Amino acid sequence: MATDLKPLPSSNKHAAAILGRIINPEEGSLDPDAARGFLKLSFPPADRDRVAQLLARNQDGKLTNEEREELDEYLRADAFLSMLKSKARLSLKRGGFPPE
């Protein structure tokens, strides 16, 4: 890391932005096996059900602060997974490999 640190705009300081810069989904540099492994990752059914419950409560305006924080964490995890999968798809495409 550089020692000449300049402050980033506040929107670039969030974990999702930081991870996005680390993963750099626009750079297709994963080997095919790693890329295919990332494409297989998904939320377990219990987590998908929980997100559906939280989204329904949110739509009804009934989320507690604790539930809002939980939903935000799921959304962050989903953004992270989406970045990984984007990089995986691009890596396979650039390598001339089928996605699965």
Q: What is the identity of the amino acid at 55?
A: L
Tokens 């419950």 sit at which residue?
Answer: 53
Q: Is the pLDDT assigned to residue 8 strictly greater than 70?
A: no
Task: Give mean pLDDT, residues 16-27.
Answer: 79
CB-based burial label for 3 (10 Å; 0-12, 13-18, 19+): exposed
- Contact present, 33 and 91 (Cβ < 8 Å): no
pLDDT digits (tens, 9 = 90+) for 31-54: 999 999 999 999 999 999 999 999
pLDDT digits (tens, 9 = 90+) for 67-97: 999 999 999 999 989 999 999 999 999 889 8
